[in-house]
Chain A
Amino acid sequence: MSSEPAKHETARPEALIEAYVVDVIRRLPRKQRNDVGFELRALLTESLKGRAADAGRVADEAMALELVREFGQPDDVAARYHTPGAPIIPPAHTRGFVWMTIVGVALQWSVSLPLAVTGKMPLAAPEDSRFAAWWLTYGLGAFWWPGFLVSMMMIAAAVRQAWPTSLAAWKPSKPFDRDHINRPLLGLGLAAALAGIAIWVLVAWIVVTFDNPFTRALAFDGDFLATRAPVLLIYWAAGITLLIVLIIEGRWRHLTRRIDLALKLASIVLMAWFVFGGRIFTGETADQTTKGALALIIVLILGQLAFDAWRLRSRIRPPQAQRG
Protein backbone atom coordinates (compact mmCIF):
# COMPACT_ATOMS: atom_id res chain seq x y z
CA MET A 1 0.00 0.00 0.00
CA SER A 2 2.74 2.43 0.96
CA SER A 3 4.50 2.13 -2.43
CA GLU A 4 1.37 3.10 -4.42
CA PRO A 5 1.56 6.89 -3.95
CA ALA A 6 5.25 6.87 -4.87
CA LYS A 7 4.49 4.97 -8.11
CA HIS A 8 1.76 7.44 -8.88
CA GLU A 9 4.09 10.39 -8.29
CA THR A 10 6.86 9.03 -10.51
CA ALA A 11 4.51 8.12 -13.36
CA ARG A 12 3.77 11.76 -14.20
CA PRO A 13 7.36 13.02 -14.53
CA GLU A 14 8.17 10.07 -16.77
CA ALA A 15 5.16 10.90 -18.92
CA LEU A 16 6.37 14.49 -19.12
CA ILE A 17 9.84 13.33 -20.20
CA GLU A 18 8.23 11.04 -22.76
CA ALA A 19 6.18 13.95 -24.14
CA TYR A 20 9.29 16.12 -24.34
CA VAL A 21 11.32 13.45 -26.11
CA VAL A 22 8.52 12.88 -28.61
CA ASP A 23 8.49 16.63 -29.26
CA VAL A 24 12.23 16.56 -29.95
CA ILE A 25 12.36 13.49 -32.17
CA ARG A 26 9.52 14.55 -34.43
CA ARG A 27 11.92 17.28 -35.59
CA LEU A 28 14.55 14.70 -36.56
CA PRO A 29 14.89 12.59 -39.73
CA ARG A 30 12.54 9.63 -39.58
CA LYS A 31 15.26 6.94 -39.51
CA GLN A 32 16.92 8.57 -36.46
CA ARG A 33 13.79 9.11 -34.40
CA ASN A 34 13.34 5.83 -32.56
CA ASP A 35 16.99 5.31 -31.73
CA VAL A 36 17.57 8.86 -30.50
CA GLY A 37 14.24 8.88 -28.69
CA PHE A 38 14.98 5.68 -26.80
CA GLU A 39 18.43 6.89 -25.77
CA LEU A 40 17.30 10.41 -24.85
CA ARG A 41 14.40 9.15 -22.75
CA ALA A 42 16.70 6.78 -20.87
CA LEU A 43 19.30 9.52 -20.28
CA LEU A 44 16.75 12.07 -19.08
CA THR A 45 15.11 9.50 -16.81
CA GLU A 46 18.48 8.66 -15.32
CA SER A 47 19.29 12.36 -14.86
CA LEU A 48 15.97 12.86 -13.13
CA LYS A 49 16.70 9.99 -10.75
CA GLY A 50 20.10 11.51 -10.05
CA ARG A 51 18.55 14.89 -9.25
CA ALA A 52 15.94 13.29 -7.04
CA ALA A 53 18.64 11.37 -5.17
CA ASP A 54 20.70 14.58 -4.74
CA ALA A 55 17.60 16.40 -3.46
CA GLY A 56 16.69 13.51 -1.14
CA ARG A 57 13.14 13.27 -2.37
CA VAL A 58 11.01 11.56 -4.95
CA ALA A 59 11.09 13.07 -8.45
CA ASP A 60 8.00 15.04 -9.29
CA GLU A 61 6.59 16.81 -12.32
CA ALA A 62 8.15 20.17 -11.39
CA MET A 63 11.59 18.58 -11.17
CA ALA A 64 11.12 16.88 -14.53
CA LEU A 65 9.93 20.15 -16.08
CA GLU A 66 12.97 21.97 -14.76
CA LEU A 67 15.22 19.23 -16.21
CA VAL A 68 13.77 19.33 -19.71
CA ARG A 69 13.65 23.14 -19.74
CA GLU A 70 17.35 23.21 -18.91
CA PHE A 71 17.92 20.64 -21.63
CA GLY A 72 16.58 23.11 -24.18
CA GLN A 73 13.75 24.01 -26.53
CA PRO A 74 12.91 21.01 -28.74
CA ASP A 75 13.81 23.05 -31.84
CA ASP A 76 17.26 23.85 -30.45
CA VAL A 77 17.87 20.32 -29.21
CA ALA A 78 16.85 18.81 -32.55
CA ALA A 79 19.17 21.26 -34.30
CA ARG A 80 22.07 20.11 -32.11
CA TYR A 81 21.57 16.54 -33.33
CA HIS A 82 22.20 17.67 -36.89
CA THR A 83 25.65 18.30 -38.30
CA PRO A 84 25.77 22.06 -38.88
CA GLY A 85 24.68 22.67 -42.47
CA ALA A 86 25.09 25.57 -44.86
CA PRO A 87 22.45 28.28 -44.37
CA ILE A 88 20.22 29.11 -47.33
CA ILE A 89 20.72 32.82 -46.70
CA PRO A 90 24.29 33.42 -45.50
CA PRO A 91 24.58 35.98 -42.67
CA ALA A 92 26.44 38.41 -44.95
CA HIS A 93 23.45 38.48 -47.32
CA THR A 94 20.67 38.65 -44.72
CA ARG A 95 20.48 42.45 -44.67
CA GLY A 96 20.47 42.69 -48.48
CA PHE A 97 17.82 39.98 -48.67
CA VAL A 98 15.55 41.80 -46.23
CA TRP A 99 15.97 45.08 -48.12
CA MET A 100 15.34 43.48 -51.51
CA THR A 101 12.23 41.80 -50.13
CA ILE A 102 10.84 45.00 -48.61
CA VAL A 103 11.64 47.18 -51.63
CA GLY A 104 10.30 44.60 -54.12
CA VAL A 105 6.98 44.15 -52.32
CA ALA A 106 6.63 47.91 -51.62
CA LEU A 107 7.23 48.74 -55.30
CA GLN A 108 4.53 46.34 -56.45
CA TRP A 109 2.07 47.69 -53.89
CA SER A 110 2.89 51.31 -54.71
CA VAL A 111 1.95 50.65 -58.34
CA SER A 112 -0.99 48.27 -57.98
CA LEU A 113 -2.77 49.85 -54.98
CA PRO A 114 -3.35 53.35 -56.46
CA LEU A 115 -4.46 51.80 -59.78
CA ALA A 116 -6.88 49.47 -57.96
CA VAL A 117 -8.32 52.12 -55.65
CA THR A 118 -8.84 54.65 -58.45
CA GLY A 119 -10.52 52.02 -60.60
CA LYS A 120 -7.87 52.09 -63.34
CA MET A 121 -7.10 48.43 -62.76
CA PRO A 122 -9.88 45.99 -63.68
CA LEU A 123 -11.01 44.20 -60.50
CA ALA A 124 -14.16 42.13 -60.36
CA ALA A 125 -15.46 44.00 -57.31
CA PRO A 126 -17.83 46.88 -56.52
CA GLU A 127 -16.33 50.31 -55.81
CA ASP A 128 -16.58 50.08 -52.02
CA SER A 129 -14.67 46.78 -51.83
CA ARG A 130 -11.83 47.56 -54.20
CA PHE A 131 -9.25 47.52 -51.41
CA ALA A 132 -10.30 44.04 -50.25
CA ALA A 133 -10.28 42.83 -53.86
CA TRP A 134 -6.81 44.38 -54.34
CA TRP A 135 -5.49 42.72 -51.17
CA LEU A 136 -6.75 39.29 -52.22
CA THR A 137 -5.23 39.60 -55.70
CA TYR A 138 -2.32 41.98 -56.25
CA GLY A 139 -1.68 42.69 -52.53
CA LEU A 140 -1.05 39.11 -51.47
CA GLY A 141 0.20 38.27 -54.96
CA ALA A 142 3.18 40.57 -54.41
CA PHE A 143 4.60 37.96 -52.08
CA TRP A 144 5.72 35.96 -55.10
CA TRP A 145 8.82 38.17 -54.88
CA PRO A 146 10.20 36.92 -51.50
CA GLY A 147 9.40 33.38 -52.64
CA PHE A 148 11.37 33.97 -55.84
CA LEU A 149 14.31 35.41 -53.86
CA VAL A 150 14.34 32.42 -51.49
CA SER A 151 14.25 30.04 -54.46
CA MET A 152 17.26 31.83 -55.98
CA MET A 153 19.06 31.65 -52.62
CA MET A 154 18.34 27.90 -52.45
CA ILE A 155 19.85 27.40 -55.90
CA ALA A 156 22.88 29.49 -54.88
CA ALA A 157 23.26 27.44 -51.66
CA ALA A 158 23.07 24.19 -53.66
CA VAL A 159 25.77 25.49 -56.03
CA ARG A 160 27.98 26.48 -53.07
CA GLN A 161 27.51 23.02 -51.58
CA ALA A 162 28.16 21.20 -54.85
CA TRP A 163 31.34 23.12 -55.72
CA PRO A 164 32.65 24.40 -52.38
CA THR A 165 36.34 24.54 -53.26
CA SER A 166 36.03 26.33 -56.59
CA LEU A 167 33.87 29.02 -54.99
CA ALA A 168 35.81 29.28 -51.73
CA ALA A 169 38.81 31.13 -53.12
CA TRP A 170 38.27 34.85 -53.63
CA LYS A 171 38.66 36.07 -57.17
CA PRO A 172 38.83 39.70 -58.18
CA SER A 173 35.92 40.96 -60.22
CA LYS A 174 36.95 41.72 -63.80
CA PRO A 175 37.07 45.52 -63.65
CA PHE A 176 38.76 45.63 -60.21
CA ASP A 177 41.05 48.41 -61.45
CA ARG A 178 38.41 51.06 -62.06
CA ASP A 179 40.84 53.41 -63.78
CA HIS A 180 41.88 50.82 -66.35
CA ILE A 181 40.53 51.40 -69.86
CA ASN A 182 39.73 48.56 -72.21
CA ARG A 183 41.32 50.00 -75.35
CA PRO A 184 39.85 47.57 -77.92
CA LEU A 185 36.35 48.14 -76.49
CA LEU A 186 36.78 51.90 -76.45
CA GLY A 187 38.16 51.67 -80.00
CA LEU A 188 34.94 49.95 -81.05
CA GLY A 189 33.00 52.70 -79.27
CA LEU A 190 34.92 55.35 -81.21
CA ALA A 191 34.25 53.54 -84.50
CA ALA A 192 30.52 53.32 -83.64
CA ALA A 193 30.41 57.03 -82.75
CA LEU A 194 32.09 57.99 -86.03
CA ALA A 195 29.73 55.71 -87.97
CA GLY A 196 26.74 57.31 -86.20
CA ILE A 197 27.94 60.81 -87.10
CA ALA A 198 28.58 59.69 -90.69
CA ILE A 199 25.02 58.33 -90.93
CA TRP A 200 23.57 61.59 -89.59
CA VAL A 201 25.61 63.65 -92.04
CA LEU A 202 24.74 61.29 -94.90
CA VAL A 203 21.01 61.45 -94.08
CA ALA A 204 21.20 65.25 -93.88
CA TRP A 205 22.98 65.41 -97.26
CA ILE A 206 20.47 62.99 -98.92
CA VAL A 207 17.55 64.96 -97.53
CA VAL A 208 18.95 68.26 -98.79
CA THR A 209 20.08 66.89 -102.19
CA PHE A 210 17.11 64.72 -103.22
CA ASP A 211 13.43 65.53 -103.14
CA ASN A 212 11.06 62.56 -102.73
CA PRO A 213 8.49 61.37 -100.13
CA PHE A 214 11.22 59.55 -98.10
CA THR A 215 13.50 62.56 -97.91
CA ARG A 216 10.57 64.87 -97.16
CA ALA A 217 9.65 62.64 -94.18
CA LEU A 218 13.20 62.95 -92.82
CA ALA A 219 13.75 66.63 -93.66
CA PHE A 220 15.33 68.56 -90.78
CA ASP A 221 13.57 71.58 -89.44
CA GLY A 222 15.22 74.80 -90.64
CA ASP A 223 15.40 76.32 -87.19
CA PHE A 224 17.01 73.11 -85.82
CA LEU A 225 19.71 73.18 -88.49
CA ALA A 226 20.36 76.87 -87.87
CA THR A 227 20.49 76.93 -84.05
CA ARG A 228 20.73 73.51 -82.38
CA ALA A 229 22.57 71.31 -84.93
CA PRO A 230 25.84 73.33 -84.75
CA VAL A 231 25.89 72.88 -80.96
CA LEU A 232 25.44 69.16 -81.50
CA LEU A 233 28.46 69.11 -83.80
CA ILE A 234 30.54 70.86 -81.12
CA TYR A 235 29.37 68.29 -78.54
CA TRP A 236 30.28 65.42 -80.86
CA ALA A 237 33.72 66.89 -81.50
CA ALA A 238 34.36 67.20 -77.74
CA GLY A 239 33.16 63.63 -77.11
CA ILE A 240 35.32 62.13 -79.86
CA THR A 241 38.35 64.09 -78.65
CA LEU A 242 37.84 62.64 -75.16
CA LEU A 243 37.57 59.09 -76.58
CA ILE A 244 40.81 59.53 -78.52
CA VAL A 245 42.61 60.89 -75.43
CA LEU A 246 41.37 57.97 -73.32
CA ILE A 247 42.49 55.40 -75.91
CA ILE A 248 45.95 56.99 -76.06
CA GLU A 249 46.37 57.28 -72.27
CA GLY A 250 44.84 53.86 -71.44
CA ARG A 251 43.69 55.03 -67.99
CA TRP A 252 41.16 57.35 -66.44
CA ARG A 253 42.60 60.42 -64.73
CA HIS A 254 40.87 62.82 -62.39
CA LEU A 255 40.66 65.42 -65.17
CA THR A 256 39.30 63.04 -67.80
CA ARG A 257 36.67 61.80 -65.34
CA ARG A 258 35.61 65.39 -64.70
CA ILE A 259 35.42 66.09 -68.45
CA ASP A 260 33.39 62.90 -68.97
CA LEU A 261 30.97 63.95 -66.22
CA ALA A 262 30.67 67.45 -67.73
CA LEU A 263 29.98 65.96 -71.19
CA LYS A 264 27.29 63.67 -69.81
CA LEU A 265 25.59 66.57 -68.05
CA ALA A 266 25.93 68.66 -71.21
CA SER A 267 24.36 65.86 -73.27
CA ILE A 268 21.34 65.83 -70.92
CA VAL A 269 20.90 69.59 -71.29
CA LEU A 270 21.40 69.38 -75.06
CA MET A 271 18.90 66.57 -75.54
CA ALA A 272 16.36 68.26 -73.28
CA TRP A 273 16.77 71.35 -75.48
CA PHE A 274 16.17 69.20 -78.57
CA VAL A 275 13.05 67.62 -77.04
CA PHE A 276 11.48 70.84 -75.76
CA GLY A 277 13.06 73.50 -77.99
CA GLY A 278 11.01 72.99 -81.15
CA ARG A 279 10.93 70.62 -84.08
CA ILE A 280 13.88 68.47 -85.13
CA PHE A 281 12.25 67.02 -88.27
CA THR A 282 9.55 68.63 -90.30
CA GLY A 283 7.65 65.31 -90.47
CA GLU A 284 5.48 64.66 -87.40
CA THR A 285 6.23 60.92 -87.09
CA ALA A 286 10.00 61.26 -87.42
CA ASP A 287 10.00 64.21 -85.00
CA GLN A 288 7.97 62.46 -82.28
CA THR A 289 9.88 59.18 -82.64
CA THR A 290 13.24 60.94 -82.35
CA LYS A 291 12.11 62.95 -79.33
CA GLY A 292 10.87 59.76 -77.62
CA ALA A 293 14.24 58.12 -78.25
CA LEU A 294 16.06 61.19 -76.90
CA ALA A 295 13.92 61.14 -73.73
CA LEU A 296 14.85 57.48 -73.25
CA ILE A 297 18.54 58.28 -73.72
CA ILE A 298 18.26 61.04 -71.07
CA VAL A 299 16.88 58.48 -68.61
CA LEU A 300 19.71 56.04 -69.44
CA ILE A 301 22.39 58.69 -68.96
CA LEU A 302 20.84 59.73 -65.63
CA GLY A 303 20.89 56.06 -64.58
CA GLN A 304 24.55 55.78 -65.54
CA LEU A 305 25.38 58.95 -63.60
CA ALA A 306 23.64 57.52 -60.53
CA PHE A 307 25.59 54.25 -60.95
CA ASP A 308 28.88 56.14 -61.28
CA ALA A 309 28.09 58.15 -58.13
CA TRP A 310 27.28 54.93 -56.27
CA ARG A 311 30.55 53.33 -57.42
CA LEU A 312 32.53 56.31 -56.19
CA ARG A 313 30.68 56.23 -52.85
CA SER A 314 31.53 52.53 -52.32
CA ARG A 315 35.27 53.21 -52.41
CA ILE A 316 37.06 53.03 -49.09
CA ARG A 317 37.45 56.50 -47.65
CA PRO A 318 39.88 57.50 -44.91
CA PRO A 319 38.24 57.86 -41.49
CA GLN A 320 37.86 61.27 -39.92
CA ALA A 321 40.34 61.77 -37.12
CA GLN A 322 38.77 62.39 -33.72
CA ARG A 323 40.20 64.98 -31.39
CA GLY A 324 40.45 64.62 -27.64
Chain B
Amino acid sequence: MAERPEDATAKLEQELRRGVIVLAALSQLRSAQYGYSLRQALAEQGMVVEEGTLYPLLRRLEGQGLLASEWRIEDGPPRRYYTLSPEGRKLLTDLTQSWRSLVDTVETLIGDEPAKRRKSP
Protein backbone atom coordinates (compact mmCIF):
# COMPACT_ATOMS: atom_id res chain seq x y z
CA MET B 1 0.00 0.00 0.00
CA ALA B 2 1.35 3.41 -0.98
CA GLU B 3 2.33 5.78 1.84
CA ARG B 4 0.02 8.78 2.28
CA PRO B 5 1.69 12.08 1.29
CA GLU B 6 1.12 13.61 4.74
CA ASP B 7 2.75 10.57 6.40
CA ALA B 8 5.74 10.85 4.09
CA THR B 9 6.03 14.57 4.86
CA ALA B 10 5.92 13.91 8.61
CA LYS B 11 8.61 11.24 8.29
CA LEU B 12 10.89 13.42 6.20
CA GLU B 13 10.44 16.35 8.58
CA GLN B 14 11.29 14.06 11.46
CA GLU B 15 14.45 12.93 9.67
CA LEU B 16 15.38 16.53 9.00
CA ARG B 17 15.02 17.42 12.67
CA ARG B 18 16.81 14.26 13.79
CA GLY B 19 19.84 15.36 11.81
CA VAL B 20 20.24 18.54 13.86
CA ILE B 21 19.37 17.28 17.33
CA VAL B 22 23.01 16.62 18.22
CA LEU B 23 24.04 20.11 17.17
CA ALA B 24 21.09 21.65 19.03
CA ALA B 25 21.86 19.70 22.21
CA LEU B 26 25.58 20.45 22.11
CA SER B 27 24.86 24.16 21.62
CA GLN B 28 22.97 24.26 24.91
CA LEU B 29 25.56 22.31 26.86
CA ARG B 30 28.23 24.98 26.95
CA SER B 31 26.88 25.37 30.48
CA ALA B 32 25.87 22.37 32.56
CA GLN B 33 22.31 21.10 32.16
CA TYR B 34 20.43 18.02 33.26
CA GLY B 35 18.10 16.17 30.89
CA TYR B 36 14.82 17.85 31.78
CA SER B 37 16.28 21.37 31.95
CA LEU B 38 18.00 20.85 28.59
CA ARG B 39 14.74 19.77 27.00
CA GLN B 40 13.00 22.83 28.46
CA ALA B 41 15.77 25.11 27.21
CA LEU B 42 15.51 23.66 23.70
CA ALA B 43 11.71 23.82 23.70
CA GLU B 44 11.70 27.47 24.83
CA GLN B 45 13.77 28.30 21.75
CA GLY B 46 11.43 26.40 19.42
CA MET B 47 13.31 23.10 19.24
CA VAL B 48 10.97 20.52 20.73
CA VAL B 49 12.77 17.20 21.16
CA GLU B 50 11.06 14.07 22.41
CA GLU B 51 12.27 12.98 25.82
CA GLY B 52 12.68 9.43 24.59
CA THR B 53 15.18 10.68 22.03
CA LEU B 54 17.01 13.29 24.09
CA TYR B 55 17.80 11.42 27.29
CA PRO B 56 19.41 8.37 25.67
CA LEU B 57 21.26 10.72 23.30
CA LEU B 58 22.97 12.42 26.25
CA ARG B 59 24.24 9.06 27.44
CA ARG B 60 25.47 8.11 24.00
CA LEU B 61 27.32 11.41 23.56
CA GLU B 62 28.89 10.93 26.97
CA GLY B 63 29.90 7.41 25.98
CA GLN B 64 31.60 8.87 22.90
CA GLY B 65 33.59 11.25 25.10
CA LEU B 66 31.80 14.37 23.84
CA LEU B 67 30.11 15.18 27.16
CA ALA B 68 31.21 15.05 30.78
CA SER B 69 28.69 14.44 33.53
CA GLU B 70 28.33 14.45 37.28
CA TRP B 71 25.61 13.89 39.87
CA ARG B 72 24.63 17.02 41.77
CA ILE B 73 22.29 17.46 44.69
CA GLU B 74 20.95 21.00 44.80
CA ASP B 75 17.37 22.05 45.55
CA GLY B 76 15.68 18.72 44.88
CA PRO B 77 16.54 15.14 44.06
CA PRO B 78 19.98 14.13 42.73
CA ARG B 79 20.36 15.12 39.05
CA ARG B 80 22.93 14.20 36.48
CA TYR B 81 24.38 17.32 34.87
CA TYR B 82 26.03 17.20 31.47
CA THR B 83 28.45 19.66 29.93
CA LEU B 84 30.72 19.73 26.88
CA SER B 85 34.05 17.96 27.13
CA PRO B 86 37.05 19.40 25.18
CA GLU B 87 36.22 16.95 22.34
CA GLY B 88 32.59 18.05 22.50
CA ARG B 89 33.61 21.71 22.18
CA LYS B 90 35.68 20.93 19.11
CA LEU B 91 32.82 18.93 17.61
CA LEU B 92 30.42 21.79 18.29
CA THR B 93 32.73 24.21 16.43
CA ASP B 94 33.07 21.81 13.49
CA LEU B 95 29.36 21.01 13.31
CA THR B 96 28.46 24.71 13.53
CA GLN B 97 30.68 25.45 10.53
CA SER B 98 29.21 22.52 8.60
CA TRP B 99 25.69 23.61 9.50
CA ARG B 100 26.25 27.21 8.33
CA SER B 101 27.80 26.02 5.09
CA LEU B 102 24.91 23.60 4.55
CA VAL B 103 22.30 26.27 5.29
CA ASP B 104 23.96 28.64 2.78
CA THR B 105 24.00 25.92 0.13
CA VAL B 106 20.41 24.87 0.69
CA GLU B 107 19.29 28.50 0.82
CA THR B 108 20.92 29.02 -2.56
CA LEU B 109 19.16 25.94 -3.92
CA ILE B 110 15.69 26.80 -2.66
CA GLY B 111 16.13 30.55 -2.21
CA ASP B 112 13.63 31.61 -4.88
CA GLU B 113 10.86 29.37 -3.64
CA PRO B 114 9.43 31.68 -0.89
CA ALA B 115 9.41 34.59 -3.34
CA LYS B 116 7.54 32.46 -5.90
CA ARG B 117 5.00 31.47 -3.27
CA ARG B 118 4.44 35.06 -2.20
CA LYS B 119 3.80 36.06 -5.83
CA SER B 120 1.30 33.28 -6.51
CA PRO B 121 -2.35 34.21 -5.62
Chain A contact residues, CB within 8 Å of chain B: 36, 38-40, 42-47, 50, 70-72, 76-77, 80-83
Q: Please name 22 pairs of A and B residues whose Cβ atoms are closer than 8 Å in the assembled complex, sorted by A.
A: A39-B55, A39-B79, A39-B80, A42-B77, A42-B78, A42-B79, A43-B34, A43-B36, A43-B51, A44-B51, A45-B77, A46-B36, A50-B36, A70-B50, A70-B51, A71-B51, A72-B52, A80-B56, A80-B57, A81-B59, A81-B60, A83-B64
A44 → chain B closest CB, angstroms: 8
Chain B contacts to A: CB under 8 angstroms:
34-36, 50-53, 55-57, 59-60, 63-64, 77-80
A47, A71, A72, A81: the one within 8 Å of B36 (CB): A47
Q: Measured between C-beta atoms, what is the minimum distance from B67 to chain A in Å?
A: 13
Main secondary structure of the interface of B (DSSP, over half): helix
B78: chain A residues within 8 A (beta carbon): 38, 42
For B64, list chain A residues within 8 Å (CB).
83
A72–B52 alpha-carbon span in the complex (Å): 6
Question: Chain A contacts of B56 at CB under 8 A?
Answer: 77, 80-81
Residues of chain A within 8 A (CB-CB) of B35 are 39, 43
Return chain A residues, CB-CB under 8 Å to B79.
39, 42
- For the A-B complex, the count of residue pairs with Cβ-Cβ distances under 8 Å equals 43
Known contacts A39-B79, A43-B34, A72-B52; 5 additional CB pairs below 8 A are A36-B59, A43-B36, A47-B36, A70-B51, A71-B50
In the bound complex, CA of A38 to CA of B80 (Å):
9
| Nearest-CB residue, chain B, relative to A72 | B52
Task: Enumerate chain B residues within 8 angstroms of A39, measured Cβ to Cβ.
Answer: 35, 55, 79-80
* CB of A172, distance to nearest CB on chain B (Å): 33
- Complex alpha-carbon distance, A82 and B60, angstroms: 7
Task: State whether A80 touches B36 (Cβ < 8 A).
Answer: no
Chain A hits for B77, CB < 8 A: 42, 45
CB pair B52 A80 closer than 8 Å = yes
The closest CB in chain A to the CB of B60 belongs to A83
How long is the Cα–Cα vector from A36 to B71 in the complex, in angstroms?
12
Is the beta-carbon distance between B63 and A43 smaller than 8 angstroms?
no
Please, which residues of chain B bring their CB within 8 A of the CB of A81?
A: 56, 59-60
Provide the residues of chain A in CB contact with B50, threshold 8 Å.
Answer: 70-71
A185 to B14, CA, bound (A): 57
Residues of A near B60 (CB, < 8 A) are: 80-83
Which B residues lie within 8 Å of A82 (CB)? 60
By a CB distance below 8 angstroms, the chain B residues around A38 are 78
B34: A residues at CB distance < 8 A: 43
CB distance from B54 to the nearest CB of A (A): 9
What is the bound-complex CA distance between A46 and B40, given in angstroms?
12
Docked pose: A70 CA to B64 CA in angstroms: 26
Q: With a CB–CB cut-off of 8 A, which chain A residues contact B53?
A: 80
